Structure 1
Amino acid sequence: MAEYLNAAMLLELAQRAEQRTAAPCMCTKTPLDGWHSQPLSLDETQFKEVGTLAPEDDPEPTYSEYLPGKTTYWSADAPIAPRYFPYNRCAVWQCTLCDRLYLRYTEGGGYFVDRRIRAIQSALIEDVPLPE
């Protein structure tokens, strides 16, 4: 299983990746600043899993979302709050071509499954505790 990353570890990893990625990304034509269905044109062989935000000791993480202000699930400026849905079900992947980091998880509904992906921006990572 991939290494568990808490918010501080994710922030450090994201900041290091951003320091190495000054050039514009040419890996996908679809902007991935907010959540998107994974583009079919995205070459999965260029990604490697570097960690997970899913705690191993939590068999059923919360479905509560952290969306302050007017942000929505799809917003490009929505915070990345690792303890909240959908982040608490995400794997962290790194592009081997550009070093950028991405969050990926599979959204499951009654009649569908949708692989979702979002680019990680360190400025959006927030370590927000769950309500008691």
Structure 2
Amino acid sequence: MADYLNAATLFDLAREAEAHVATPCSCTKTPLDGWQSQPLSIDETQFEEVGTLMPEDDPEPTFSEYLPGKTNYWAADAPIAPRYFPYNRCAVWQCSLCSRIYLRYTEGGGYFVDRRMRLLQAALIEDVPLPA
């Protein structure tokens, strides 16, 4: 299993990656600033899993979302709150060609499964505690 990344570690990883991003790259054909279904054009062989936001000691993380104000799940500026859904179910993947880091999880419904991706942006990471 991949190493667990807390919010501080995730922030440091994001800042480091953003400082070394090489552009352009084929991993960015589809804008992934907000959650999107994983594009079919993604070449998974150029990605490496660098961690997880799924705590090993929490077999059923919350489905509560952290969406303050008028933001929504799909918004490019929605906060990335690692303790909240869907982030608490994400794997963290890095492109080996350009250093960009993406969050990935699988959304499952009654009749579908949708692998979703979002670009990790340090400025959007918020370490918000879960309500007691």
- Provide the TM-score with structure 2 as the length reference: 0.97
Distance across 2 between alignment mates of 1:23 and 1:108: 33
The yes-or-no answer on 1:16 pairing with 2:3 is no
Q: C-alpha deviations, 1:41-87, integer Å up to 9, x for none?
A: 11000000000000000000000000011110000000000000000
**Do 1:65 and 1:86's aligned partners in 2 also have CA atoms closer than 8 Å?**
yes
Distance across 2 between alignment mates of 1:25 and 1:13: 19
The yes-or-no answer on 1:66 pairing with 2:66 is yes
**Offset at residue 29 of structure 1 (A):** 1.3
Q: State the SS of the aligned residue for 2:49.
A: strand
**Offset at residue 28 of structure 1 (A):** 2.9
Alignment of 1:26-41 (within 5 A): 26-41=26-41
Aligned to 2:112: 112
The yes-or-no answer on 1:95 pairing with 2:95 is yes
**Do 2:6 and 2:53's aligned partners in 1 also have CA atoms closer than 8 Å?**
yes
Identical-pair percentage: 80
Aligned to 1:127: 127
**Do 1:28 and 1:41's aligned partners in 2 also have CA atoms closer than 8 Å?**
no
Distance across 2 between alignment mates of 1:77 and 1:46: 26
Q: Structure 2: give runs of 5+ residues left out of the alignment.
A: none
Aligned to 2:4: 4
- Aligned residues between the structures: 132
**Offset at residue 24 of structure 1 (A):** 4.1
**Do 1:107 and 1:115's aligned partners in 2 also have CA atoms closer than 8 Å?**
yes
Q: C-alpha deviations, 1:16-36, integer Å up to 9, x for none?
A: 000001534442311000000
- Provide the TM-score with structure 1 as the length reference: 0.97
Q: C-alpha deviations, 1:88-118, integer Å up to 9, x for none?
A: 0000000001000000000000000000000
